[in-house]
Structure 1
Amino acid sequence: MSPAAETDTRPGDLPQRGQIALRSGRIEVDGTPTLLLSGEVHYFRLRRDEWADRLTQARDAGLDTIASYIPWIWHELPNGELDLTGRTCPERDLPAFIDLCDSLGLRFLARPGPFVMAELKNEGIPDRIYREHPDARPNGWDGRAARSEDLDYHHSGFLTEAERWLGAVVEVLAPRQAPDGPVVGVQLDNEVGMLAWVSNTPHLNDRGVGDLLTWLTDRHGAEAAAKLLGVTGDDPDQLAAAVRAGGDPAQTPAFHHELGLWARDDFAGYLRHLETFARDRGIAVPLLINVHGTGGGRGTTFPIGISQLAPAYRGRDGLLAGSDYYLGELTVQNAADLYLCNAILACVNGPDQPASSLEFEAGTGDYGDNLDALSSPESGVHKTLLTLGQGNRLINYYLLTGGRNPVLEGSRDDGIPRIAFTGERHGFAAPIDPEGRTTPALDALANLFKEVRAYQPILATGRQLTDELGFGFVADHYLTEYAHPAAAARREQVEDLERHRGFGARDALGRAIVLGGYHVDAVDLQAIADPESAWTAGATAPEAPRTIVLGTARTLGVKVQRWLTDHVRNGGNLLLTGRLPDRDQDGAPCTILADAFGLSSAGFRIDRRDESGPYWPTVTGSGSFPLDADLRVSSAQLLRAPAEAEVLLREVGSGLPCAIQAQLGAGSMIFVGCDFPAAHLDNWNALFSRFGVRPRVGIDADRTGLLTVPVTSEHGNLLIAVNLAPYAITASISVDGHQVQPPTTFPARGHALLPW
């Protein structure tokens, strides 16, 4: 028990300690469903005499939890000794910081790495680890060294050092765990796999290559594994060289697919090792895994992180996965990203695992201290409301407070003698700046927390009401982290996947759903189609809605194609956009879905300007699907279709179909082979209505830009409405035909919480 608990100085009106449990998609404290609203405060970037001030600011704003990285690079001294108690520097006194949180009635989320990123040098790993274990640095394609500070997670030297570090931290955390102390969660490493992905550097050092070859042999047999690599015989040096060269040039999609599957397994093995390590040393509170993937203000690549890490946590007791969201200003450009990322994150969880966000962007967005970006205070409010409405039970605002990077003893001569590469001041964009001054972002969040707390029973237990529409998620569409520089077929596959998967080309499918007023859950199609696969382990059998929408490239796995075909044949509906699937994940021909409907490609028309002149593809409506105007698209797949298929769109230049509706058994499929613009929401609504799908939330508005999330629970119902637009919108809102809000003007960037 902490000293703070013994003196009982905790304010009585603040969250009290209790047993933390993950149950039925909720976070419960002593059996009561609870929202955890957390702010990231880096004690190591503040003077010790500033700690209480920043924590009090966080508490007074309405937060109940504090999170912080615990940087190995800060707590390890130049001689290799560890200081976690402040004997060499008061700002290293981790127990004192945690106990101070406790005395102020604040819970604590610990994030000890080993990797912590946070703009720290070496991503938070001490220089000594790289010096003493140089072979822990992974080599990638053709033996080239990693361009990042990545390390091979399974390297014995690194693991031994990491366990020494984590063991010391656990000695501080374990006695302070809930219910007797403030620690309610411990994160396992940070953004695992991210450095390998963004640098296109799979872990192909000797350990990695050896494990991969064993893995391939176990899955396919030695002869098939060698054939995949284009090697005759079993010479280990030849096999290793072939792995690093990207496999057999004739089978690069197949090899890269296997590499991606192996990397998933490799990361899962590492995180499970850390899980076991923590549990064996007495950590009983939930263990957290941070899922990375947003970038450039968009979420289109976020599912890569889910693809990489879900097998490490899906369905595992006491584990919780959290998003890592950096989207900048929330607008019509990226609102669908946030919504669909939340849906995908939730759909791969086990039944007891709630959705959460472990790094939820807060502040102005001016991360470079360069006035190259400013996000409105309302943006953080909107992102919070949508995320809570979709069932997230924990949000950690990152960063909540700025600070100053301390001088690092023994720092190498790299121009900045400090712990981080951002200079002295850090957290320029935070709601509380490095000097402790509050910004409008904090005021907006503080006002929001008052509203949220008023509806906490609903938001801590509720579920989103959805329409009869499921957003299809195919995890293997996001196994695109690695591509050998010389593998042309692989590059073609990745480019096609990146353009058409997920949210659809030009994000049209995602925006048509979200901005069109539909509310959906994501459907993990691989978990349904292949329940015995490694991907599906830990999943519960998901129920598929009658109508599924899916953006796909030419690559779509054989089992998913087969399941979708059966789904339609048995009375389901499918809206497919992108490209007509004709390849399995390994690049082998696979036309199960197309063949079932008698469809084949008649070529492509693409936006181009070359020696033959310009070409601008345009589509027009056909038959019972008229358009009020022809629409310019950037590409169209022309189709050969059976006579009984109804043509919905034709490409003007060729006169050939590029969108059709066809029956199969008791169901129907619509295939849209062009990037049909999202701005024409009436056209998309007409497509959905062909399956009898209409939004249960009716929005009668004078302009586009109002988003809603309807939440229902045993404690009541709540409709969240946010106006993304930079102008006022007048609208009336109904749910299932019952008016919730009469005609009302929602101010620009405004919001409302409407009980119903």
Structure 2
Amino acid sequence: MDIFKSRAVRKVHSTFEFSKEKKGDSPMIELKEKKILIEGKPVILMCGEVHYYRLDKNDWQARIDQLKLSGCNAVATYIPWLCHQPEQHIIDIDGSTRPELDIIGFLDLCQKNDLYIFVRPGPFIMAEMKNEGIPHWVYSGCLEAIPVGWDGQDPTTKTLDYLNPGFLEATRAWYKIILPPIKERLYSNGGNVIAIQLDNEVGMLSWVSNTPDLTDHLLDDLSSWLLSYYDTKLDERYPGVFNRGEKIRNTQLRSPTEDYAPQFLKDLGYYMRDRFARYIHILRTYCEEEGILDIPFVVNIHGTGGGRGFTFPIGISQLYESYTQDEGYLSGSDIYFGDFNMDMFQDLYLINGFMDAVHLPDQPLTSVEFNCGDGNFGSTFGGRKDPSSVDLKMRMCVAQGNRLINYYLLTGGYNYRMDQKLNDGNDRIAFTGERHGFAAPISPEGELNFTFPRMAESISRVMAVSDKLAGMNEEKDAVAFAFIPDYYMTESRYPKSGKMKEILENIEQNRNGSSWEVVARAMLLKGFKFGSVDLQNQPINLAKIKTLVVPSARYLHKHIQEKLIQFMNNGGNVLLYGELPQFDMEGNPCSVLADEAGVRYKNTYRDSSEYYLSLESENLSRRYPEVRTHIAHTVEGGDSLTPLLRTYDTKEISGFESKIGRGKLIGLLTHYSCDLTFFGEIFDRLEMKRSLAHDYQHHGIFMTSVGNEDRERFIHILNLDGLEKEFHLFENEVKLFEGHKVALPAKRGLMLPVNVKLEKAIIRYATAEIKERACDHVTFAIQAEEQIIVIDTEHEITIEPSSLKAVKKGNMYSITANLYDCRGEDVTIRFNES
């Protein structure tokens, strides 16, 4: 088996066969066609994370009331092993030692409040807990599970070897304690528990500390794994490592030499993906043995940092085999961004696309840690976020098909002191001090902060049409942004290896950065609705994708280069942005893509304080202004090459077009500016067609659309700036809404209905957003100077406020509403019985 051409997929015995008893004839909970179905109906789950163990038990109902006030229909919570079993002989899940540990009572209270429940019992939970939520006695009893890092160094984070037998035995015992009460409260058993998370952010601690768990136990397993793939060629791949005994082998793998460092970088990454998948499978098996059946198993992906998404795909790379190994898994993102604005909006769109690219056909998107609140984590008023942030991010996620969003952390609380003396400075359960979650929309004391109203408003808008949105998918153009998992397999690097450093630094310089902030941003601002494709593992569907955008480094798998050639031979087009591939992922010469395009790498130029590297355009419809850049890679080729960009002084080619088969390759081997006119022409040359457009002069608008088989649709638009915008919307170059303009307030989003069916009417279109609906009426939020609503109904209608009038033509009613006439009121249309 070639492990670099196909991922290992572990097809286990599936127990994801849903009960059809107790609550109806339809399957209880189902993942189907990227939807979550409960009782056969698609749903959107809006969860609020509430840490019961950080609250006085008497405050639980008040926090649940506030959660319901926010519009959420579900509760999520970690279940901390550290708290419920602080000593091996002390177990409390019913409040016998501390009232706030009555997890049974909390789950029952949530059900009494008619809320779905999403449980997260670890074993690792993080949540700023000491030991990441693992009891101290587990660490002291499993010393051999504590990772050994590069050169045999101690780890700098509190993690454990997931497959260590002692740790697994302790975890199995924990699950036997906590899973029985969860089983009794499963949705299929008459309760409200609808999902369970397996561990939390698997692999994250090893990544952030660059400590890849190189214990003797792991290296024994790794050796067997490598032998199963390479057999007799293993010694050739690792000269002098595997034929001199286990002790020498382990020492050399912890301190790899340059002879095999690139090979080990690659093999270790592939092995850890497989190892994480085995760990998740074991946890799922423990759950199923305890009767946890008929609900999705959630795997949480880590990676956002510094308010950006550049590193998030590292988590996808580490874990995609874990949640695609069988049916019944959900992957969930961690969304920790700052304000939603022009800096980062494309990051969120891309990481949702990358998650979707590796999913099985039925797996929907979810976000199980969707950060909310004011961002004041350091209690310094630094990092303070605008209330629009959570609203706009959630709207983008819903537009891209997120079916579960867990607002984390919805309410703050307190870290109590443990009865056991820890002698660690405060003896508390967590390292954040006494108060925890003081940046949350609900403070530890139960006060609503300034972000709560906007958050609640946005949730209510989605929930008002959630039955529609839950069954809709994004309507994408025939364009995709490539995701290459191995470009993000950079979490483990030997600090002393120059070869590892050279490969990884080049990949990191090219895998996102400018390709996200220039190309993806330009695509979105131009109105393209694009998905992503797992270029490494999956075929490219030419029927759905005409043009593929590929961020490219100097290193690229040979089979990916060949796949791109085949795609273009069959009529597809490729935008290669970054660097011309010259080597495979282990540093071996590999230039099949360049050879097919008839180009050869020539030079790399970088700017400096005395060298102002600049590019000039050529062979385009107009002369574009000369552009400064910090890097340019140049190529040379024959007469079939069409130059598009040249360096100013040396006149070398840094951008080109080349015909390959029935398609074409455009290579932009530089970091260009986000010139929308320039990229508009590049996109035209690549035959990229967009369905949505607007005529606002200054851009700063995100647009996409969703629809279902009944041709019901919503057009999602987001204003990324702090000023109101007014414009026409176009679809396939035709003005929408009969030429009426859309008014989009500052930092606001709209979900505009098109052909949306109500019980007694059809909303043909509206430039206002639905706020509320029932069988006999629909209410629209009026927040701009003029908005129009067109309703098709056989019923007579009554409009509130009464000052508004409708123009009727047949069964069609047109209502024009503005802020002045409405005097700040919403518009309600009532359908009267005939």
> Matched residues in 1 for 2:346 and 2:599: separation?
30
Over residues 173-229 of structure 1, what are the superposed CA-to-partner deviations in whole Å (9 max), with x where a residue is unaligned?
Answer: 001000310100110000000001111111111011111111111111255246425
| Worse overlay, 439-448 or 59-68 | 439-448
Is 1:155 aligned with 2:164? Answer: yes
Q: 1:65 aligns with which of 64, 74, 88?
A: 74
2:124–2:133 CA contact under 8 A, matched in 1? yes
Query: What is the one-letter code of the residue matched to 1:263?
Result: M
Over residues 264-303 of structure 1, what are the superposed CA-to-partner deviations in whole Å (9 max), with x where a residue is unaligned?
Answer: 1111110111111111211111111101110000001111
1:255–1:586 CA contact under 8 A, matched in 2? no
Q: 2:673 aligns with which of 647, 652, 677?
A: 677
Instruction: Name the counterpart of 2:486.
Output: 476
Instruction: Name the counterpart of 1:694.
Output: 689
Alpha-carbon distance, 1:593 to partner: 0.5
1:625–1:648 CA contact under 8 A, matched in 2? no
SS at match of 2:316: helix
> Matched residues in 1 for 2:54 and 2:558: separation?
51
| Worse overlay, 594-603 or 737-746 | 737-746
1:226–1:234 CA contact under 8 A, matched in 2? no
Is 1:509 aligned with 2:519? Answer: yes
Alpha-carbon distance, 1:624 to partner: 2.4
Q: 2:198 aligns with which of 188, 191, 196?
A: 188
Q: 1:733 aligns with which of 729, 736, 742?
A: 729
Instruction: Name the counterpart of 2:292.
Output: 283
Alpha-carbon distance, 1:440 to partner: 2.7
Alpha-carbon distance, 1:503 to partner: 5.6
| Worse overlay, 738-747 or 580-589 | 738-747
SS at match of 2:728: strand
TM-score, normalised relative to structure 1: 0.93
Is 1:548 aligned with 2:536? Answer: no
2:29–2:37 CA contact under 8 A, matched in 1? yes
> Matched residues in 2 for 1:79 and 1:499: separation?
48
After superposition, where does 1:302-701 map in structure 2 within 5 Å? 302-314=312-324, 316-502=326-512, 504-505=514-515, 507-528=517-538, 545-609=545-609, 614-678=610-674, 680-701=675-696
Alpha-carbon distance, 1:164 to partner: 0.7
> Matched residues in 1 for 2:543 and 2:327: separation?
22
1:473–1:522 CA contact under 8 A, matched in 2? yes
Query: What is the one-letter code of the residue matched to 1:622?
Result: E
Instruction: Name the counterpart of 1:173.
Output: 182
Query: What is the one-letter code of the residue matched to 1:106?
Result: L
Alpha-carbon distance, 1:376 to partner: 1.0
> Matched residues in 2 for 1:118 and 1:229: separation?
44
Q: 2:216 aligns with which of 174, 186, 206?
A: 206
> Matched residues in 2 for 1:290 and 1:315: separation?
15
| Worse overlay, 157-166 or 236-245 | 236-245
> Matched residues in 2 for 1:510 and 1:659: separation?
18
1:663–1:669 CA contact under 8 A, matched in 2? yes
Percent of residue pairs bearing the same amino acid type: 35
Instruction: Name the counterpart of 1:33.
Output: 42
Residue 230 to residue 608, structure 1, CA distance change in 2 (3 Å): farther
SS at match of 2:97: coil
> Matched residues in 1 for 2:236 and 2:285: separation?
34
1:315–1:352 CA contact under 8 A, matched in 2? no
Is 1:23 aligned with 2:32? Answer: yes
2:48–2:406 CA contact under 8 A, matched in 1? yes
1:702–1:730 CA contact under 8 A, matched in 2? no
Residue 65 to residue 249, structure 1, CA distance change in 2 (3 Å): same
> Matched residues in 2 for 1:469 and 1:417: separation?
54
> Matched residues in 2 for 1:251 and 1:634: separation?
33
> Matched residues in 1 for 2:254 and 2:709: separation?
56
2:235–2:243 CA contact under 8 A, matched in 1? no
Residue 720 to residue 225, structure 1, CA distance change in 2 (3 Å): farther
Give the greater-gyration-radius structure (CA): 2
Alpha-carbon distance, 1:132 to partner: 1.5
Alpha-carbon distance, 1:526 to partner: 1.4
SS at match of 1:447: helix
> Matched residues in 2 for 1:338 and 1:551: separation?
17
Alpha-carbon distance, 1:566 to partner: 0.9
Query: What is the one-letter code of the residue matched to 1:621?
Result: S
Alpha-carbon distance, 1:232 to partner: 7.3
After superposition, where does 1:712-727 map in structure 2 within 5 Å? 712-714=707-709, 716-727=712-723
Alpha-carbon distance, 1:650 to partner: 0.5
> Matched residues in 2 for 1:664 and 1:457: separation?
46
Alpha-carbon distance, 1:510 to partner: 2.1
SS at match of 1:27: strand
Instruction: Name the counterpart of 1:743.
Output: 741
Alpha-carbon distance, 1:675 to partner: 0.5
> Matched residues in 2 for 1:337 and 1:189: separation?
26
SS at match of 2:456: helix
1:411–1:418 CA contact under 8 A, matched in 2? no
| Worse overlay, 116-125 or 728-737 | 728-737
Residue 225 to residue 109, structure 1, CA distance change in 2 (3 Å): farther
Over residues 46-99 of structure 1, what are the superposed CA-to-partner deviations in whole Å (9 max), with x where a residue is unaligned?
Answer: 000000000011012211100000001111133542211111111111010000
1:393–1:460 CA contact under 8 A, matched in 2? yes
Query: What is the one-letter code of the residue matched to 2:194?
Result: V
CA RMSD of aligned residues (A): 1.7
Instruction: Name the counterpart of 1:231.
Output: 241
> Matched residues in 2 for 1:738 and 1:30: separation?
40
Instruction: Name the counterpart of 1:6.
Output: none
1:229–1:255 CA contact under 8 A, matched in 2? no
> Matched residues in 1 for 2:79 and 2:126: separation?
11
Over residues 130-154 of structure 1, what are the superposed CA-to-partner deviations in whole Å (9 max), with x where a residue is unaligned?
Answer: 1121111010111111110010001
Instruction: Name the counterpart of 2:114.
Output: 105
Alpha-carbon distance, 1:625 to partner: 5.0
SS at match of 2:646: strand
Over residues 326-369 of structure 1, what are the superposed CA-to-partner deviations in whole Å (9 max), with x where a residue is unaligned?
Answer: 01111111100000101111111111111100000111111121
Task: Spell out structure 1 runs of 4+ moving beyond 6 A.
Answer: none
> Matched residues in 1 for 2:253 and 2:575: separation?
39
2:478–2:544 CA contact under 8 A, matched in 1? no
Residue 446 to residue 431, structure 1, CA distance change in 2 (3 Å): same
2:542–2:567 CA contact under 8 A, matched in 1? no
Q: 1:707 aligns with which of 702, 722, 736?
A: 702
> Matched residues in 2 for 1:225 and 1:356: separation?
44
Alpha-carbon distance, 1:544 to partner: 5.6
> Matched residues in 1 for 2:242 and 2:458: separation?
65
SS at match of 1:347: helix
SS at match of 2:538: helix
1:721–1:751 CA contact under 8 A, matched in 2? yes
Alpha-carbon distance, 1:449 to partner: 2.1
> Matched residues in 2 for 1:311 and 1:24: separation?
20
1:458–1:718 CA contact under 8 A, matched in 2? no
Gaps of 5+ in 2: 1-25, 755-834
Number of paired residues? 724
> Matched residues in 1 for 2:685 and 2:519: separation?
16
> Matched residues in 2 for 1:753 and 1:55: separation?
28
Alpha-carbon distance, 1:543 to partner: 6.5
